[in-house]
Amino acid sequence: MRRTAQSILVEHGRITWIRPTDAEEDSGPASSRQLIDSRGLTAVPGMVDAHCHLTSPGGKRYIERFSDPPRQLIETAESNGSLARQSGAAWLRDAGSPTVTDPVGGQRRALALGIRDRWASRDDRPRVKAAGTWIAAPGGLESGLGLVVRDADELVAAAHLQLDQGADLVKLYVESRRGHDSPWTAAEIRRVVEAVHGRGAKVTAHAMWLKTARAAILGGVDAIEHGFHLDSDACAEMARRGTYLVSTLIVPRNWLRLGTTTSGSFWSTRAGKRYARNILAAGEESVAIAGQRGVRIAAGTDFGGGSPRAGQLAWEVESLVIAGMQPWQALGAATWRGGDLLGIANAGRISEGGPADFFLVDGDPLSDPSALWNVARLA
């Protein structure tokens, strides 16, 4: 909802009141407050990047970079966190990081978990919910990064291990060695979902293809990541179950950009460009169908785990609008929908008594989403 000519009083990091500018309440003596002239600016709720990877920089070698030395991965995360925060992101949902020995905390587990803990008390970083390390079938995650499980028993055990090590959610990498089939049946996925739900956590599934998404949806996962090839039946089932779609349309958009700005990679070949164009077209179609069917859509960048960079959530909002969503819906996907996905009541919302997690942009993102790039100030 758009409201014009409003004043917001912030005290100690929380919103005390929101009033029409011509009917402000007493905000105390002038000497004790700082007046921010925000005429022409729009206050936007702190955004939620619902799918990203703190420890990789994205770019052309985005997968290889997860194998950087742990200290380098942490430096990358610091840079990503700063960029994301400055772009208006208040929350990040890390969708997978490598298991290494944390050079700061000393624990051997998914590296984003320690970064999450250390950022929790820092105003210059977003808050984080993190998935631990990807859980994959043999050959499903080519890079060797994931925790590889051979059967359904190992799948459940791997999920418990991630939760034991402090993961907020469990990430299943539903991808086969070849072809677009799911490596696990819906029944096998249901077993791991029940185990994780039993511990009060959530399960999400990387599922790019229709068959992998179908197995994950019927298995009861809480969200489908990417979902580039959903059909009407799959979306109807997601809507019925309340399964989220986490969109990452800027991944294929960024592949296309790499194809024109770099050389010597798959993305600059004709086959690479065709692949990226096909994924983008299918992904836009999926978002359109999901929207029509009433699926809850949250927006992600996939920075680090795809070639996009930290701080590019505005681009995903623009991409959702190109795919047919209204600007208010697309902005909702990048704010309160992401907050609901995280289960954080105040995330992505501006409300009296809530945290002052908002930022000011030059322009009106409800009529022109590109205004989100024009960050004038963080609250």
The residues of the shown chain that bind Zn ion, judged by CB under 5 A, are 95, 302, 305
Q: Specify the residue, 95 or 135, whose C-beta has the smaller distance to Zn ion.
A: 95
Angle between helices 250-261 and 270-293 (to 10 degrees): 160
Q: How far is the CB of 102 from Zn ion (least distance, A)?
A: 21
Q: Which residue is nearest to Zn ion (CB)?
A: 305
CB of 172 to Zn ion, least distance (A): 12
Closest contact distance (angstroms) between CB of 131 and Zn ion is 9
Nearer to Zn ion among residue 56 and residue 346 (C-beta)? 56
For Zn ion, the closer CB: 182 or 248: 248
Q: In the complex, what is the shortest distance from the CB of residue 51 to Zn ion, in angstroms, rounded to a whole number?
A: 6
CA distance 155 to 301: 27
* CB 52, min distance to Zn ion, A: 7
CA 9 from chain centre, in angstroms, equals: 29
Of the two residues 9 and 48, which places its CB atom closer to Zn ion in the complex?
48
Longest dimension (CA), the chain: 67
**Least gap, CB of 305 to Zn ion (angstroms):** 3
> Would you say 58 or 305 has its CB closer to Zn ion?
305
3-state secondary structure the chain: CCCCCEEEEEECCEEEEEEEHHHCCCCCCHHHCCCCCCCCEEEEECEEEEEECCCCCCCCCCCHHHHCCHHHHHHHHHHHHHHHHHCCEEEEEECCCCEEECCCCCCEEEHHHHHHHHHCCCCCCCEEEECCCCEECCCCCCCCCCEECCCHHHHHHHHHHHHHCCCCEEEEECCCCCCCCCCCCHHHHHHHHHHHHCCCCEEEEEECCHHHHHHHHHCCCCEEEECCCCCHHHHHHHHHHCCEEEECCHHHHHHHHHHHHCCCCHHHCHHHHHHHHHHHHHHHHHHHHHHHHCCCEEECCCECCECCCCCCHHHHHHHHHHCCCCHHHHHHHCCHHHHHHHCCCCCCCCCCCCECCEEEEECCCCCCHHHHHCEEEEC
Q: CB nearer to Zn ion: give 44 or 141.
A: 141
**Distance of closest approach, residue 300 Cβ to Zn ion, in angstroms:** 8
The residue among 8 and 95 lying less far from Zn ion, judged by its C-beta, is 95
Nearest-approach distance from CB 226 to Zn ion, in angstroms: 8
CA atoms of 127 and 116, how far apart (whole Å): 7
- If the CB atoms of residues 207 and 210 are measured against Zn ion, the closer one turns out to be 207
Integer-rounded Cα radius of gyration of the chain? 21
Nearer to Zn ion, 42 or 56 (CB): 56
* Minimum CB–partner distance for residue 95 and Zn ion (Å): 4
Which is nearer to Zn ion, 243 or 301 (by Cβ)?
Answer: 301
CB 345 → Zn ion: shortest distance, Å? 26
**Cβ neighbours, 10 Å, residue 28:** 11
